[in-house]
Amino acid sequence: MPDSAVGQILFFSAGAITAIISMWLGSLVFFRLLERRERRRLLQTQLAELVSQAYETEQWLRRLRSAELMNGPPLEEPSPMRHVNMIARLFVPELRAEVKRLNTAVVAFEAWVQQGVADKRDSRAVSQTTLDRYPAVQRAVLDSITELANKAEILVRK
């Protein structure tokens, strides 16, 4: 084989190898970008659901107060906090501190309701002391939801 034929084969082989490597790297970069975009879209969806469920928790607590202390309709659905906790654990560990604060506020609110139920059982009315604590427990829930929503907004913008 003449040297020019070997040179042409080597030149062609090097070009083919370069093309294959370029296609492979291009595909890898494309799929990485696509994967990152899908993860971001999933995160945005989960953050929206988490914040929505946090606000629904506040409404659920109001219905709990109404059902237990004001003889309103019975509350049959479970607390949305289980959804908030699940989403935070599975998809958004960056919000653990905010979700923990919301959990603490919800537990305090539920304890306040139970104190009101105990008051009603003992004296047929909720005590003034218990009623006076309502703004504080309600504010704690609202503040923790606001903090959670603000942090979620920051995460969405990243």
d(CA 18, CA 24): 10
Task: Give the pLDDT confidence of 82-131 residue by residue, as tens digits.
Answer: 999 999 999 999 999 999 999 999 999 999 999 999 999 989 899 999 99
> Tokens for 7?
């040179």
d(CA 45, CA 69): 36
Task: Give the pLDDT confidence of 5-55 residue by residue, as tens digits.
Answer: 766 777 777 777 877 777 777 766 666 666 677 888 888 999 999 999 999
In the chain, where are the structural domains located?
40-157
**Pair 102, 94: CB distance under 8 Å:** no
Residues 6+ apart with CB under 8 A from 80: 53, 54, 56, 57, 60
Is the pTM higher than 0.75? The answer reads yes
Helix (H, G, I), strand (E, B) or coil at 136: helix
- The radius of gyration of the chain from alpha carbons, rounded to an integer in Å, stands at 29
In eight-state DSSP terms, residue 91 is T
DSSP string, 7-47: HHHHHHHHHHHHHHHHHHHHHHHHHHHHHHHHHHHHHHHHH
d(CA 115, CA 67): 14
**pLDDT at 22 (0 to 100):** 74
Output the furthest CA–CA distance in the chain (Å, rounded): 110
